[in-house]
Chain A
Amino acid sequence: MFPALANPARFMAFSRWAAPLLGVIAIGLLAIGLALDFRAPPDYQQGYAVHIMFIHVPAAWMSLVVYACLGGASFISLVFRHPLAQAAARAAAPLGAGVTLLALVTGSLWGKTTWGAWWVWGDPRLTSVLVLFLFYLGYLALDASLDDEARAAPATSILALVGLVNLPIVHFSVTWWRSLHQASSVFRADGPSMPAIYLAPLLTMALAYMAGFGALWLVRIRAEVWRRRAQVRAVRAAG
């Protein structure tokens, strides 16, 4: 996180206008992306199912981006004991789990229409995204099961960092596993590079997801800061 925003008061002043601004940008980009999406012609192989790509692929990218944010915030929280970084990590986790679930569900729908199967175990990406989803679930479960917030913060940060180290290894091992099994013949081997008519809506949607995540993340961090302030007031009022 930017050092200038490490001050909670300054962060609240910044996010007060940044969160709605990012939200408006996200809605605008979403509208442009969907308009470009509807103008894109049906794919010669996949037909109209290609439209799922514009929802699915950015979600899959974001599932990794959010985990990187979660890991980075956890690192700052663990090393510098910064309360705002901890709030940021906690706020990112449910968003990451949601976007990963979206990637899994839309991927499954896409797979059903193009490969003819909801789920193909031979594909390394499917399995590694599923493991990523489990990492998010583990983080949320650990966070929910520790009552004492002061203790929950380092524990969840350690878990997020362990997950961050393991993600590339999981991805590598699953890819290796697939090469052993040779199961997938349904996939085109990295077909021709994508034409611009598909690339433009895809990148617009990716930016829309990014802005949307930024807006929701800031709102959730603000909510976390407010919750803590309310807690402090309640304790003070109780004397």
Chain B
Amino acid sequence: MNPFIAILRRELAVSWAGGGGPLVAIGFFIALTSLAPLALGGDPVRLAEAAPGIAWLVLALASLISLERMFERDFEDGALDLIALGPAPLELAAFVKAIAQWATTQAPLALVAPLLMVALGAPWRLAPVALAAALAGGFGFAFLGGVGAALSLGSRRGGVLIALLVLPLFTPPVIFGAGAIEAFAAHLDWRTPLLLLAAYALAAAALCPFAMAAAARNALS
């Protein structure tokens, strides 16, 4: 079988095993969003203004929660050794892992993000741009997050460490993603930030697999 397909099928199957896969991330996303009106006060005008920003902040945070499982579980049970010994290069495996991470966490979150934004009071016409931005931004989050997950293999403080390593790297996607929605709402040029966001995500997809593979190889050695 084609190694790309084989690893992808395995990753997708494993993501549902024990823990409900994407549903946990979506639950976290909804729970976090429900706190936003409570923290900001119930004023509908203010909430509607802040809705795209809140949705992006929560998307970035929710992208973090399943990162720890991306490499750690395979590292502990020896599956990562087998993948490294297999015919496919570790770079390809890391690429596919990040794609699977996107498909099972960030893409479902991207589908929910516009709904939550509208629920907070943003107008419906923003939903298509929000969906496109969340899909592209989430793609970048999955790859950048994978680098943090691979680097923290074998460390004593997995989750919090990944967050500290990865969140500064999320700065450009958050700026361009929230900026695209804001520009669209203000009838400004929204294509430029969206294209910059897509460019950042694609550059991450091109470069991050090498960093992930180098870090994983280092942890296995």
Contacts and interface: CB of A to CB of B under 8 A. Distances in A.
Contact of A180 (B152, B171, B183, B200): B183
Contacts of B171: 131, 170, 173-174
Given A154-B215, A154-B218, A159-B151, A138 B175 contact: no
A138 to B, nearest CB: 5
B75 to A, nearest CB: 12
Interface in B149-174: 151-152, 154-157, 161, 164-165, 167-169, 171-172
Interface in A33-83: 78
B214 interface: yes
A137 B156 contact: no
A158 B151 contact: yes
Interface residues of A, number: 30
Contacts, number: 82
- If over half of A's interface residues share one DSSP class (helix, strand or loop), that class is named, otherwise mixed; here it is helix
Contacts of B179: 176-177, 180
Interface in A152-193: 154-155, 158-159, 161-163, 165-166, 169-170, 172-174, 176-177, 180
A137 B164 contact: yes
- If over half of B's interface residues share one DSSP class (helix, strand or loop), that class is named, otherwise mixed; here it is helix
Interface string A128-149: 0001001101100110011110
Interface string A106-146: 00000000000000000000000001001101100110011
B19 to A, nearest CB: 25
A166 B173 CA distance: 12
Contact of A170 (B147, B172, B215): B172
A145 B161 contact: yes
Contacts of B154: 146, 148, 151
B141 interface: no
A206 B4 CA distance: 53
A141 B151 contact: no
B48 interface: no
Contacts of B188: 180
A41 to B, nearest CB: 40
Contact of A174 (B175, B182, B221): B175
Best-surrounded residue of A131, A135, A173 (most CB of chain B within 10 A): A173
Interface of B: 147, 151-152, 154-157, 161, 164-165, 167-169, 171-172, 175-176, 179, 182-183, 188, 193, 196, 200, 207, 211, 214-215, 218-219, 221
6 contacts: A142-B152, A147-B156, A172-B172, A173-B172, A173-B196, A176-B196
